């Protein structure tokens, strides 16, 4: 994904998608990287996408993403759930977020 138009088209999906906002320089983003493939495999109901915060700064501001890594769930253009904070996220916290998001 290289443009905001592509992002806006992506979130219009009729499937539930998870957008992870990250930055290459972010140590907390690097912390979650090793276990994300396992989480993606364990939650096939979602399609996962990754958005570089530095390349989409206006999009982040529009969606109130001020801490990374942050996760938003979208379906048909609507935000269903979010896990946004400046704190480091553990595997267990992300799993709980994903589980809770399935029930919304």
pTM over 0.85: yes
Apex 104 CA angle, 46 and 71, nearest 5: 50
> Which residue segment(s) compose the domain that 71 sits in?
4-102
Q: Which of 29, 68, 73, 98 is catalytic?
A: 29
Are the C-beta atoms of 22 and 29 separated by less than 8 Å? yes
| 29 catalytic residue (yes or no) | yes
Instruction: Give the per-residue pLDDT at 2.
Output: 77
**What is the per-residue pLDDT across 13-57, written as a single tens digit (0 to 9) for each?**
888 999 999 999 999 999 999 999 999 999 999 999 999 999 999
User: What pLDDT digit, counting tens, does each position of 51-91 carry?
Assistant: 999 999 999 999 999 889 999 999 999 999 999 877 889 99
Residue 92: band (very low, low, confident or very high) from pLDDT cuts 50, 70, 90? very high
Q: Please state, in angstroms and rounded to a whole number, the distance separating the CA atoms of residues 53 and 15.
A: 23
Please say if 60 is a catalytic residue. Answer: no
Question: According to the model, what pLDDT value does residue 85 have?
Answer: 78
| Active-site residue, selected from the candidate residues 1, 10, 23, 26 | 26
* Domains of the chain: total: 1
CATH of the domain at 8: 3.40.30.10
């Amino acid at each position: 994904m290289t443009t905001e138009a592509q992002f806006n088209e992506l979130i219009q999906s009729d499937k539930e998608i998870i957008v992870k906002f990250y930055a290459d320089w972010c140590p907390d983003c690097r912390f979650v990287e090793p276990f994300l493939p396992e989480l993606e495999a364990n939650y096939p109901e979602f399609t996962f996408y990754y958005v570089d915060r530095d390349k989409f700064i206006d999009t982040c501001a529009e969606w109130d993403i001020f801490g990374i890594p942050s996760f938003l769930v979208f379906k048909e253009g609507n935000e269903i759930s979010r896990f946004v904070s400046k704190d480091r996220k553990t595997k267990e916290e992300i799993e709980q977020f994903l589980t809770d998001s399935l029930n919304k």
